[in-house]
Chain A
Amino acid sequence: MTEFFMGLGLSYEWAWGIATICGILLIAFPLMLGVAMIIYADRKIWAAMALRKGPNVVGPIGLLQSFADGLKVFLQETIIPSAANKGLFLIAPIITFTVALMAWAVIPFNSGAVLADINVGLLYVLAISSLGVYGVVIAGWSSNSKYPFFSAMRASAQMISYEVSIGFILVTVVLWAGTFNLNDIVKAQQGHGLGLVNGFWFNPLLFPMWVMFLISALAETARAPFDLTEAESELVAGYQTEYSSMAFALYWLGEYANVLLMCTLNATLFFGGWLPPLDIPVLYIVPGFVWLLLKILFFFFIFSWVKATVPRYRYDQLMRLGWKVFLPVSLLFVFLVSGYLMATGHFA
């Protein structure tokens, strides 16, 4: 895009700056719209599984429900508790929201259609997702209230625990792809399964890693069955208890943007990202971002499905799963994958 603006007679700096801002807007606006629609989809799926109708009043079949909710919270009064640490109380939701948007910079939407095509793309995603915990922890502390504080404690322990196993899972993918660049990881999956299937999931050594990544993604985004940070039967609403109005909405949007990001990572790392599911020339006629979108929606359906059907974990079992099951198993698979790749001369 920089070349296009340079073609209009701008200097490199200005062209680069304008191209970057355009790229950010091109990602952020559809993402916000997508988040609004995905909240609606989440509620509809959830309702269908409980044999209810779900939102069906605002707009045709309730399609405008999220926008109505958005308008509602926008018009509400922002209440700051008098005992709260005001600055941090207001910064916390902004951190959550910003961090949820930042990681999208390195996601490839098509061959070459990526805002920042950096060498350490996957590490960047890991770094940014590890920042997400601050929004929750700061909110919990600055609210100066008991339930949010418990929630913050839980969140910090939970997110760090699952990041460790996610790190090792990503290492197995990186070993196979030989790069940290997300676009190159997608390209490495072309025809990976018997020269026909695009995606690492077809690989017997990486399929268990995908299953673990999906579960860790649920825990990392604090979705059911791992939503202990806002367990309403124990902690009222967790770290969001004292929040109202737009500050609350920012958490809402940030949370769903994070869920979409995790779905996208599932699609990009294990299911071939913008590649079609099968390596058949006819399928390449459909543009890459359509395939990516379909895969994201597929994974989001799994997320909703799990939310609608699985009861919440107990906290000690959550920790046990993270540290005593996922960590050793993912370490074992790092060992197995690197051993297999060395034995077959993959690195030669």
Chain B
Amino acid sequence: MIQVFAFYLFATLCIFSGAVTILARNPVHSVLWLILAFFNAAGLMVLVGAEFIAMLLVIVYVGAVAVLFLFVVMMLDIDFAELRAGFIRNFPLGLALAVVLFVELFVGLVVHGKGGVALGKADGSAPQAAGMSNIEAIGALLYSRYLFLFEAAGIVLLVAMIGAIVLTHRQRTDTRGQNIAKQNARRPDEATINLQPEVGKGVQI
């Protein structure tokens, strides 16, 4: 009873906030509704027993990706008139995308109605044994059967990360940065000099 109630609560809120994400006029509101949609999706994941995926969804998407989204969107200078001006021009493209998405969803539903695909049986073996927690099951799969794919994904991400750094990094010569190691290595006797000037003579440095 509780499960059914929770499912309908999460599912309704998820679809509703997804819809408002698209309909909201203000981009910041859109991002916040998107976050709510993520959150409810995480709730649905918990309901089907995939608590690890749910936590990852919250940590990665809600905790990091969406914050960066919000960070960028908050700094936008929003001109609503300009937003509406592009509506007619972009309408055919949007319509085409909507049709493609709808057809894909429809085909998926039809195929599912014909029997669907059994999950977790890529090579015909039985799905993961019960009695293992989510994290252990995923770890056992990732580090044994899918080890190569996992490592390859890691390398792709590393290359992407280095690429992003190389593209945005710029060497600035006109500003003075702080070199903390150099500061810490400085001793008093190289930073200060001790003089006893005669009266009325002044100091030459």
Taking beta carbons and an 8 Å cutoff, which residues of A are in contact with B?
13, 16-17, 88, 118-120, 123-124, 126-127, 130-131, 133-134, 137-138, 141, 149, 152-153, 156-157, 159-160, 163, 167, 180, 316-317, 320
Taken together as a complex, chains A and B put the C-alpha atoms of A131 and B48 apart, in Å, by: 23
Could you tell me which residues of chain B, from 85 to 133, have a CB within 8 Å of some CB in chain A? 133
Given the complex, which residues of A lie within 8 Å of B56, measured CB to CB?
Answer: 123
Interface-facing stretch out of B58-66, B155-163, B189-197: B58-66
Q: Which of A16, A119, A133, A152 contacts B74 (CB 8 A)?
A: A152
Taken together as a complex, chains A and B put the C-alpha atoms of A126 and B133 apart, in Å, by: 19
Q: Which of A131, A138, A317 contacts B58 (CB 8 A)?
A: A131
Taken together as a complex, chains A and B put the C-alpha atoms of A316 and B28 apart, in Å, by: 27
Cβ–Cβ contact B134 & A156, under 8 A: no
Interface of B is mostly: helix
Taken together as a complex, chains A and B put the C-alpha atoms of A118 and B29 apart, in Å, by: 33
Cβ–Cβ contact A124 & B55, under 8 A: yes
Q: A152-B74, A160-B67 are in contact. Are A138 and B32 (CB under 8 A)?
A: yes
Cβ–Cβ contact B51 & A156, under 8 A: no
User: Of all chain B residues, which has the CB nearest A153?
Assistant: B71
Cβ–Cβ contact A123 & B133, under 8 A: no
Cβ–Cβ contact B32 & A127, under 8 A: no
Interface of A is mostly: helix
User: Of all chain B residues, which has the CB nearest A141?
Assistant: B74
Q: A13-B1, A120-B51 are in contact. Are A134 and B59 (CB under 8 A)?
A: no
Closest-CB distance, A160 to chain B (whole angstroms): 6
Could you tell me which residues of chain B, from 131 to 151, have a CB within 8 Å of some CB in chain A? 133-135
CB of B178 closer than 8 Å to a CB of A? yes
Q: How many residues of B contact A (CB 8 A)?
A: 25
Closest-CB distance, B30 to chain A (whole angstroms): 13
Can you list 23 A-B pairs, Cβ within 8 angstroms, ordered by A? A13-B1, A13-B2, A16-B2, A88-B29, A119-B133, A119-B135, A120-B51, A120-B134, A120-B135, A123-B56, A127-B59, A130-B59, A131-B58, A131-B63, A134-B67, A137-B71, A141-B28, A156-B70, A156-B71, A159-B67, A160-B64, A160-B68, A163-B64
CB of B7 closer than 8 Å to a CB of A? no
Taken together as a complex, chains A and B put the C-alpha atoms of A203 and B133 apart, in Å, by: 28
Could you tell me which residues of chain B, from 15 to 66, have a CB within 8 Å of some CB in chain A? 28-29, 32, 35, 51-52, 55-56, 58-59, 62-64
Given the complex, which residues of A lie within 8 Å of B28, measured CB to CB?
Answer: 141
Closest-CB distance, B185 to chain A (whole angstroms): 17
Closest-CB distance, B70 to chain A (whole angstroms): 6
Q: A88-B32, A137-B67, A138-B32 are in contact. Are A120 and B55 (CB under 8 A)?
A: yes
Taken together as a complex, chains A and B put the C-alpha atoms of A266 and B187 apart, in Å, by: 37
Closest-CB distance, B105 to chain A (whole angstroms): 29
Q: A88-B32, A160-B67 are in contact. Are A131 and B51 (CB under 8 A)?
A: no
Closest-CB distance, B1 to chain A (whole angstroms): 6
Cβ–Cβ contact B178 & A316, under 8 A: yes
Cβ–Cβ contact B74 & A130, under 8 A: no
Q: A119-B135, A153-B71, A156-B71 are in contact. Are A134 and B35 (CB under 8 A)?
A: yes
Knowing that A120-B135, A127-B63 are A-B contacts, what are 13 other residue pairs whose CB atoms are under 8 Å apart, sorted by A's residue number? A13-B1, A13-B2, A119-B133, A119-B134, A123-B55, A126-B63, A127-B55, A137-B67, A137-B70, A153-B71, A156-B67, A156-B70, A160-B68
Given the complex, which residues of A lie within 8 Å of B133, measured CB to CB?
Answer: 119
Cβ–Cβ contact A133 & B67, under 8 A: yes
Cβ–Cβ contact A137 & B62, under 8 A: no
Given the complex, which residues of B lie within 8 Å of A17, measured CB to CB?
Answer: 2
User: Of all chain A residues, which has the CB nearest B2?
Assistant: A13
Taken together as a complex, chains A and B put the C-alpha atoms of A137 and B73 apart, in Å, by: 12
Given the complex, which residues of B lie within 8 Å of A118, measured CB to CB?
Answer: 51
Closest-CB distance, A270 to chain B (whole angstroms): 21
Taken together as a complex, chains A and B put the C-alpha atoms of A141 and B29 apart, in Å, by: 11
Q: A141-B74, A153-B71, A156-B70 are in contact. Are A130 and B1 (CB under 8 A)?
A: no
Given the complex, which residues of B lie within 8 Å of A153, measured CB to CB?
Answer: 71, 74
Q: Rank and list the top 6 A-B pairs by shortest CB-CB distance, nearest first.
A: A130-B63, A127-B58, A123-B55, A119-B133, A127-B59, A141-B74
Given the complex, which residues of A lie within 8 Å of B135, measured CB to CB?
Answer: 119-120, 180
User: Of all chain B residues, which has the CB nearest A152?
Assistant: B74
Closest-CB distance, A253 to chain B (whole angstroms): 22
User: Of all chain A residues, which has the CB nearest B35?
Assistant: A134
Closest-CB distance, B178 to chain A (whole angstroms): 7
Given the complex, which residues of B lie within 8 Å of A167, measured CB to CB?
Answer: 59
CB of B167 closer than 8 Å to a CB of A? no
Taken together as a complex, chains A and B put the C-alpha atoms of A137 and B74 apart, in Å, by: 9
User: Of all chain A residues, which has the CB nearest B75?
Assistant: A153
Given the complex, which residues of A lie within 8 Å of B134, measured CB to CB?
Answer: 119-120
Closest-CB distance, B84 to chain A (whole angstroms): 20
Given the complex, which residues of B lie within 8 Å of A126, measured CB to CB?
Answer: 55, 59, 63
Given the complex, which residues of B lie within 8 Å of A130, measured CB to CB?
Answer: 58-59, 62-64
Closest-CB distance, A150 to chain B (whole angstroms): 11
CB of B205 closer than 8 Å to a CB of A? no
